[in-house]
Amino acid sequence: MSITRETGNCQLILALDIEERADAIELVRKTGDGLEWVKIGLQMFTRYGPDYVREIADLGKRIFLDLKLHDIPNTVAKAIDSVSDLPIGMLTIHTCGGREMMEWAVRAQRDSNPDLQLLGVTVLTSMDDNAISEVGVNRSAAEQVSALASLAAEAGMSGLVCSPHEAALLKSAHGDQFKLVTPGVRPVGADAGDQKRVMTPRLASEQGADYIVVGRPIYKADNPAAVVAAIRSDLD
């Protein structure tokens, strides 16, 4: 399924998945005012902790904390409570944790941080149909995304993480119920790396992405600010 919409409302998120804290801080500074959002994932959070989140936020960036929480309902709810005092605008959980886990997560988010955008991760963009089959799912990646999105809708979720290839499908099925964040986005000519289901920034936006996540093409560039500007130009 394919839809085309006006671009310009889609926002860029830098995936700050690099080794050293000092390098990450320098990179954020180099991107300048052209970048509003930064994603801090499991790699950097487990190494540097909550103070690192605050340090990036103090540089004037909005924080997407990508922890992909997946545990029993009470543990996930308590984890959301634990990060509620951090300056974060987005937080991820795994939709495959099930309806009850998502319902507990939504309640915890509403009680502890009503302004936080909770995002349900559907199928990782590093996985394709073969990888889905290997873990015992007898559906295609797109079918699994659709099924998990429907479950997330019933649980009261308002945001999802999906491949840009499924963005149009979800917008068609659920309208504007979900904010869609799409990793696996690569500028024209960039190496796909370990991503399987990729798309260019403009195409991802046209398919319905509200936010796109880009990492290596920016932080491995000689001029990260120029890449950020080029991506924003493509989106606009």
Catalytic positions: 68
Place of tokens 């869609």: 180
Contact 12, 214 (CB under 8 A): yes
Contact 119, 91 (CB under 8 A): yes
What letter would DSSP give residue 64? E
DSSP for 91-144 reads EEEEGGG-HHHHHHHHHHHHHH-TT-EEEEE-S-TT--HHHHHHTT--S-HHHH
What are the tokens at 177?
A: 């119920």
What letter would DSSP give residue 14? E
What are the tokens at 234?
A: 């493509």
Contacts 24+ apart (CB under 8 A), 221-224: 224/27, 224/30, 224/31
First to last CA, the chain: 24
What are the tokens at 98?
A: 């099930």
What are the tokens at 139?
A: 């559906």
Amino acid at 134: E
